[in-house]
Amino acid sequence: MSKVKSLKCRECPEEYEISPKYVCDMCFGPLEISYNWKEIKKSVNKNSITNGPKSIWRYKSLLPIDGNDVIDIGTGFTPLISADNLSNFLGLKKIWIKNDSVNPTYSFKDRVVSVASTKAKEFNFDTFACASTGNLAGSVAAHGAKAGFRTLVFIPSNLENEKIVAASIYGPEVVAIKGNYDDVNRLCTELAETKPWAFVNINLRPFYSEGSKTVGFEIAEQLGWKTPDHIIAPAASGSLFIKVWKGFNEFFEIGLIEKPKNTRMHIAQPKGCSPISTSFNEGKTHPLPVIPKTIAKSLAIGNPADGYYAIKLAKETRGSAHAVSDDEIVKGISLLARTEGIFTETAGGVVIATLVKMVKQELISKDEEVVVLITGNGLKTQEVISSLSAPTEINPTIKSFEDSFPNY
Amino acid sequence: MRLSKQLKFTFRGKSIQRPLIYEVGHKFKVTTNIRKADIESDGGWVILELTGSKEEINKALDWLKEEEVRVDNVAGDIVAG
């Protein structure tokens, strides 16, 4: 019997055969993978996982992949770092950094794209596509190259050159669409409806998003088969946030960890694009879409597909939701770099700024354990911290050095 | 050729008081088929299927935007970070 049963609607009882489909025909709700847990339990245990590769593929039995030919560029099993300096600075017992900025294309997107590209091969697609302003573009281009797909990356025509280079080096067709963000969204949706392509976050979305739950698997395994008191995760569409929790619950389902009943899930968003946090704090169940205006471009999703589920999860776990300013984001990036030697992009700055805020608001007790998700590398968003990097210029003399640096 | 689009309309402010879904079906040759909705006094959303020719759908969506209705794909934003 297969480990994957069907595609199931999250909103109504409808189920569908496994195929590149993402919306329920009945209620237009999102589809997700339904697994045969009895079958999975027979073959998955702590030993089978720890004997697996040091990548997301150690959890292959828990992913919607049928065969053994995975598209592997070395994604996952990223370090969970004990952030002792940051813990001391904030007066907490233990902060862990889940450092996904060291993935092959320097962001957590490699997890979702690894699964999507593998599934695209299994579905016999020959063309692999995405629409992105940064991290996803690079990851899709890299996986497309490894898998031998024809790869298309759609970007807004005003995207910064360094982000275009980070995707184009892998050899995809990079298509710059004139117009605003809505125009790019609309065209890509129409293309996905009319072309026989694997569009990673459209028709492959139920498979693609499953890659994110490996963050939850890794955290639980790396903590010694348990979950922490708090998780702070950045939210764009909200998918990563809910899938980390799904990972914990699936580990519980197959008996690898205790029920994660004491883990609280906290949402981190930038003030310039915080539809999920705003609605959570206003007591609403659905996020109201916004027009993003933030330096945290990797979180600039104005109409988050999984916003409703993220709000629900934060409520159910007695979590919270926060929105931080651009200034706080830059300070967050700087704080993490100066305490832990980890240079994160703006989404990481959002998470660290949220952590600081939560400590100030006494939402975390001093003896509790916190895991913060750092999802991307700082080299990708250097423009936002350029003001911090001006060097001190001196003349080529000892005197000039000592005059400028009297403490050395 | 008739097309069907699965869309989410978000209403805010004064637009909530008007029968805009009724109006769009009368002003343009499109059919609306509501699947889900959540409306409160200060705003709300409706998930529906809009069916018609591409031209009529586009004209209907342009008009709705002029009436300050936000129109999104049901799957949320496609352009990711």
**What residues 45-104 of chain A have any CB closer than 8 A to a CB of chain B?**
none
The residues near A76 (Cβ < 8 Å, ≥ 6 apart) are: A55, A56, A57, A58, A103, A110, A111, A114, A214, A218
- Confidence at A336, pLDDT banded by 50, 70, 90: very high
Q: What is the mean pLDDT of residues A196-220?
A: 97
The verdict on residue A69 lying in a domain is no
Q: Residue B53: phi, psi to the nearest 5?
A: -75, 160
Q: What is the pLDDT of residue A223?
A: 98
Same domain, A235 and A331: yes
Q: What is the pLDDT of residue B73?
A: 86
Q: What is the pLDDT of residue A186?
A: 83
Q: What is the pLDDT of residue A266?
A: 98
- CB-based contact, A158 to chain B, within 8 Å: no
Q: pTM of this prediction?
A: 0.95
Q: Which domain holds residue A4?
A: 1-43
- Confidence at A91, pLDDT banded by 50, 70, 90: very high
Q: Is residue A159's pLDDT more than 90?
A: no
Q: Which residues does chain B have within 8 Å of residue A347's beta carbon, measured at their own beta carbons?
A: 81
Nearest-neighbour CA in chain B from A157: distance (Å): 13
> Which residue type occupies A241?
F
Are the Cβ atoms of B80 and A304 closer than 8 angstroms?
no
E strand map for A51-208: 80-82, 94-99, 127-131, 150-156, 173-177, 198-199
Sign of CA dihedral A344, A281, A289, B47: positive
**Structural domain tally of chain A?**
2
Sign of CA dihedral A253, A10, A372, A363: negative
Q: Which residues does chain A have within 8 Å of residue B47's beta carbon, measured at their own beta carbons?
A: 28
Q: Which residues does chain A have within 8 Å of residue B73's beta carbon, measured at their own beta carbons?
A: 185-186, 189
Are the Cβ atoms of A28 and B70 closer than 8 angstroms?
no
Token output for A98: 């889940």
- Chain segment B12-71, per-residue pLDDT in tens: 887 888 899 999 999 999 999 999 998 888 788 999 999 999 999 999 999 999 999 999
Cβ–Cβ < 8 Å for B21, B46: yes
* Homologous superfamily of the B2-73 domain (CATH): ACT domain (3.30.70.260)
Cβ–Cβ < 8 Å for A313, A249: no
The residues near A117 (Cβ < 8 Å, ≥ 6 apart) are: A71, A128, A140, A143, A144, A146, A147, A149, A198, A200
Are the Cβ atoms of B6 and A156 closer than 8 angstroms?
no
Q: Cα separations (Å) of B6 from A307, A347, B28, B57, B71?
A: 18, 31, 17, 12, 10
The verdict on residue A153 lying in a domain is no
Nearest-neighbour CA in chain A from B20: distance (Å): 19
Q: Residue A230: phi, psi to the nearest 5?
A: -140, 145
Q: Which residues does chain A have within 8 Å of residue B80's beta carbon, measured at their own beta carbons?
A: 109, 130-133, 135-136, 201, 236-237, 301
Q: Cα separations (Å) of A228 from A137, A264, A356?
A: 32, 8, 18
Cβ–Cβ < 8 Å for A64, A2: no
Residues A94, A84: Cα–Cα separation, whole Å: 7
The verdict on residue A60 lying in a domain is no
Inter-chain Cβ pairs, chain A and chain B, closer than 8 A: 92
Q: Which residues does chain A have within 8 Å of residue B70's beta carbon, measured at their own beta carbons?
A: 289, 303
- Chain segment A293-320, per-residue pLDDT in tens: 999 999 999 999 999 999 999 999 999 9
Are the Cβ atoms of A306 and B76 closer than 8 angstroms?
yes
Nearest-neighbour CA in chain A from B45: distance (Å): 8
- CB-based contact, A205 to chain B, within 8 Å: yes
The verdict on residue A144 lying in a domain is no
Same domain, A93 and A2: no
Long-range CB contact pairs, A385-389, < 8 A, 24+: A385/A330, A385/A333, A385/A334, A388/A330, A388/A334
- Chain segment A161-202, per-residue pLDDT in tens: 888 889 999 999 999 999 877 788 889 988 988 999 999 989
Burial B34-73 (b: 16+ CB within 10 A, else e): ebeeeeeeeebbbbbbbbbeeebbebbbeebeeeebbbbb
Residues A239, A214: Cα–Cα separation, whole Å: 12
Residues A34, A53: Cα–Cα separation, whole Å: 25
Q: What is the pLDDT of residue A2?
A: 84
Q: Which residues does chain B have within 8 Å of residue A154's beta carbon, measured at their own beta carbons?
A: 79
Same domain, A218 and A278: yes
Tally of CA atoms within 13 A in the half-sphere of A133 that contains its CB: 24
Output the domain CATH number for residue A99: 3.40.50.1100
Q: Is residue A385's pLDDT more than 90?
A: no
Q: What is the pLDDT of residue B15?
A: 80
Q: List the single residue in B72, B74, B76 with the smallest CB-CB distance to A237.
A: B76
The verdict on residue A348 lying in a domain is yes
- Confidence at B76, pLDDT banded by 50, 70, 90: confident
- CB-based contact, A312 to chain B, within 8 Å: no
The verdict on residue A255 lying in a domain is yes
Residues A325, A321: Cα–Cα separation, whole Å: 14
**What ipTM does the predicted assembly reach?**
0.87
Residues A30, B8: Cα–Cα separation, whole Å: 13
- CB-based contact, A285 to chain B, within 8 Å: yes
Residue of A nearest to B61 (CA): A186
Q: Which residues does chain A have within 8 Å of residue B43's beta carbon, measured at their own beta carbons?
A: 288
Radius of gyration of chain A (CA): 21
Q: Which residues does chain A have within 8 Å of residue B78's beta carbon, measured at their own beta carbons?
A: 131, 184-185, 188-189, 192, 199, 201-202
* Burial of A196 from C-beta contacts in 10 A (0-12 / 13-18 / 19+): exposed
Q: What is the pLDDT of residue B16?
A: 83
Q: Is residue A246's pLDDT more than 80?
A: yes
Q: Is residue A133's pLDDT more than 90?
A: no
Mean pLDDT rounded to a whole number for chain A: 95
Q: Is residue A123's pLDDT more than 90?
A: yes
